[in-house]
Amino acid sequence: MKLSSFLVVKAVISLAFGIAFVLVPAAVMSLCGVTLNPDGILMARVVGACLIGIGLVCWFDRSADRNALQGITLAFFVGDTVAFIVTLLGKLSGLMNPLGWAIVAIWMFLALGLGYFRFLRSSAS
């Protein structure tokens, strides 16, 4: 798989979750067994807005030059790794129902993929 293809996958995931968090955050989080109060709904919508921005960066910059892609993949690798750790800790603490493992797996997949393209793959094509 090429980095540009992986960024399209990340764009689709980010945009889908971003739009869902902006429009129906309580419904999305309830699927994982998490109940949001009004403060949580506001924060979920802010996260959704950020995910929309990330998705658009992935989409529009998927064919950027190698130097730009180095920075993009490093930044998203760090963010997705932190998100993986946060969701894993949330799941292990009992905050989420069994569907929470899917969220943990999505962040792990994205972090590992970006880590591969940033650190292991010699070509950012």
Instruction: Look up the domain containing 51 and give its range.
Output: 3-120
pLDDT per residue as tens digits for the range 90-101: 999 999 999 999
Tell me whether residue 110 is in a domain: yes
pLDDT per residue as tens digits for the range 65-89: 999 999 999 999 999 999 999 999 9
Q: From CA 60, how far away is CA 42, in angstroms rounded?
A: 27
Residue 121 pLDDT level (bands cut at 50, 70, 90): confident
Tell me whether residue 10 is in a domain: yes
118, pLDDT greater than 50: yes
pTM of the model: 0.92
Tell me whether residue 125 is in a domain: no
Do residues 111 and 84 lie in contact, with contact meaning Cβ atoms separated by under 8 Å?
Answer: yes
Tell me whether residue 100 is in a domain: yes
If one counts the domains in the chain, the total is 1
